[in-house]
Amino acid sequence: MYFIETWFGIFIVDSELNVVDSKLYSEDVDEIVRLNRDFDWSYVKGFDAEPAPLDLEREFRLNLWGRYEERYRSLLHEVGHQVCEGDVEVSLEDRGEDVIRAVETLDKFDKSINLLGESVKEWALSHNVGDVGSGEEIAQDILDGEISESSFKSSVVYQEVKRVSEQLMSLKMARDSVLSYIEREMMGFAPNLTKVCGPVIGGRLISLAGGLKKLALMPSGTIQVLGAEKALFRHLKDGSEPPKHGVIFQHELIRNTHWSKRGKLARTLASKIALASRIDYFSGEDKSKTLLEDLEKRKKEVLQ
């Protein structure tokens, strides 16, 4: 089951968006504002529910408002005004949205850079330029003059490869700029998460969860397999081995460890990520030193 939080209540739904249960807030504005700031996690835990995927949540919200418009419409403006007074939370959500978009943009840049890099390398090798590294390295060597026109069988082809190389390196510069933005934003609004798992993995987890708040409310077991939805679906469908980790595999703690130890370390890392995201969202204190020390201690226990 899934839970969907709105400003006027919490809904428990199944995979087909049927409402299993709901907790509608009273029509007292102060009480609604308080409940919007202090999520009732105990209510959700009673149903063993997880945050709804973004597509389900959007569909639910589109069909939801009409049912409750008459009852809550008159309160919307006043609730919105009071919530905006606590603009720290609003700011966190806005910055989370920006990080989500930046991570999505970074992925698109990476895909384009990889495709162009492959093209540059294949083109160069077809002219017997030699095994001269990755596509990006070849492009940079062409632009630096390390690989000259005489290295190619045709000057026309060389000029075309050079133009593609210019586009490739331009994309790389833009990609690096987006990466720098992600690093700055993540350190600004999710410092504990950033220090525990890095800005890119942290940003990717926020993107997959649908925001810092949703990540903070997720159990560590769900965080552990975020990004491995296809493997999890195969496991549920045909009984294949369940995934041990999702996007957190990119973390050096998991990636550089023998496969037999990865499951234990993935659970540990996911639990620290869960704690870090909750601290970032609910208190903002810097507890990263303690989290990293605990992570290092557990790493030594597992690897000894």
Q: Give the burial class of 69: count Cβ atoms within 10 A of its Cβ; 0-12 exposed, 13-18 middle, 19 or more buried.
A: exposed
CATH topology of domain 190-304: Serum Albumin; Chain A, Domain 1 (1.10.246)
Give the Cβ contact number of residue 140 at 10 Å: 17
Arithmetic mean of pLDDT, 286-299:
92
Domain-wise residue ranges, the chain: 1-85, 103-180, 190-304
Instruction: Answer yes or no: same fold for 1-85 and 190-304.
Output: no
3-state SS, residue 6 = strand
Comparing 228 with 302, the larger pLDDT belongs to 302
Q: What is the pLDDT of residue 131?
A: 64
Q: What is the pLDDT of residue 200?
A: 92
Pinpoint the alpha helices (H) of 127-210: 135-144, 155-189, 191-197, 199-209
pTM above threshold 0.85: no
CA neighbor of 9 nearest in space, from 65, 81, 82: 65
List the structure tokens of 132: 């001269």
Residues 6+ apart with CB under 8 A from 51: 2, 3, 4, 209, 210, 214, 217, 218
Comparing 108 with 95, the larger pLDDT belongs to 108
Counting residues of the chain whose pLDDT is more than 90, the rounded percentage is 23
Arithmetic mean of pLDDT, 43-66:
74
pLDDT digits (tens, 9 = 90+) for 246-276: 788 888 888 888 888 888 888 999 999 999 9
pLDDT digits (tens, 9 = 90+) for 130-180: 666 888 888 888 898 888 888 888 888 888 888 999 999 999 999 999 999
**CATH code for residues 1-85:** 3.30.420.220
Q: What is the pLDDT of residue 88?
A: 43
Asked if residue 295 has pLDDT above 60, the reply is yes
Give the Cβ contact number of residue 87 at 10 Å: 10
pLDDT digits (tens, 9 = 90+) for 193-218: 999 999 999 999 998 888 888 899 98
User: 296: pLDDT confidence band, cut at 50, 70 and 90?
Assistant: very high
Asked if residue 92 has pLDDT above 80, the reply is no
Asked if residue 37 has pLDDT above 80, the reply is no
List the structure tokens of 93: 């959500």
